[in-house]
Amino acid sequence: MTTRPPPLTIGGREFAWGRRTYVMGVLNITLDSFSGDGLGYDVEAAVAQGRRFAEEGADILDVGGESTRPGFDPVSAEEEIARALPVIERLLAEVDIPISIDTSKSKVAKAALKAGAHLLNDVSGLRHDPEMAALVARFGVPAVVMHNQRGCPFSDVIGDIRGGLEASIALAAAAGVPRERLIIDPGFGFGWTVEQNLEMLRRLGELVDIGLPILVGTSRKSAIGAVLGLPVEERLMGTAATVVIAIAHGADIVRVHDVKEMVQLCRMADAVVRTPVED
């Protein structure tokens, strides 16, 4: 059996990898979220959703002020901060679970981390902004590093993911970020065909030997819509199937829009693949 990574403290909470699956709830403070849940500048709605996610069992809230959907319209760092920071500040005061900032811009990350955010979630794997890795080291926070396949030549699904993640891990190490503070994300939906996304899930277990916790974000994504022929608002069951498969193949964190349902799903899947349940 592969040894799981050592526990990681995020926002004062211990995340013991392999013991159970952790749930990251998505808060899109955007105007053009692919999933139709963008909250724009409505701070009250975003905070209410964050409180609800915490009550429903989320372990982390992931706040993002810029869409990362295919063909997204970029926004400035100042705009991203204006959207995300008021929500982060309120959530830090009103919920007792870790808050993550979803950004690839060091200026945005700095503002969020100075305000008290506990985790960076960077879909570029620290590779978009040359100052990001050093910023993570300076604040001493954990970071999710994703392999983003957009614009990259394709060779092999797992091989390409490994290569991208190894580059991000090396960037972090060069900046002084301890390896044990990293969480890896294979980048479901970021530059892959439908079949390549499905292959990623089938072969996810091949990434476990990297020795870092794995985050998977399949929730409501277009590959599910393509397989099922369903619009984004009808992809709950398809998302559930992908989340179960990810857990069975080694996912430690799942990033989701439908927290209540996915918390229940994770607990049931964990009972099968992690902890024996007595009758």
**Beta bridge mates, 63:** 27, 101
Q: Indicate if 221 belongs to the active site.
A: yes
Question: Distance between CA 245 and CA 251 in Å, rounded?
Answer: 9
Degrees, nearest 5: CA angle 82-83-88: 100
Asked whether 120 and 136 are in contact (CB, 8 A), the reply is yes
Question: Distance between CA 120 and CA 117 in Å, rounded?
Answer: 8
Q: Which candidate in 255, 260, 267, 274 is catalytic? A: 255
Q: Following DSSP, what letter does each residue of 83-133 receive, concatenated?
A: HHHHHHHHHHHH--S-EEEE-S-HHHHHHHHHHT--EEEETTTT-SSTTHH
Strands in 119-122's sheet, in edge-to-edge order, are 182-185, 143-146, 119-122, 99-102, 60-64, 22-28, 253-256, 215-216
Q: Which candidate in 221, 260, 267, 274 is catalytic? A: 221
Q: Indicate if 255 belongs to the active site.
A: yes
Q: Is 165 left (phi over 0), alpha (psi -120 to 50) or beta?
A: alpha
In whole angstroms, what separates CA 76 from the centre of its chain?
Answer: 22
Helix, strand, coil share of the chain (percent; to 5)? 45, 15, 40
Distance (Å) of CA 201 to CA 206, 264, 269: 10, 21, 16
Burial 81-111 (b: 16+ CB within 10 A, else e): bebbbbbbbbbbeebebbbbbbbbbbbbbbb
Active site residue ranges: 221, 255
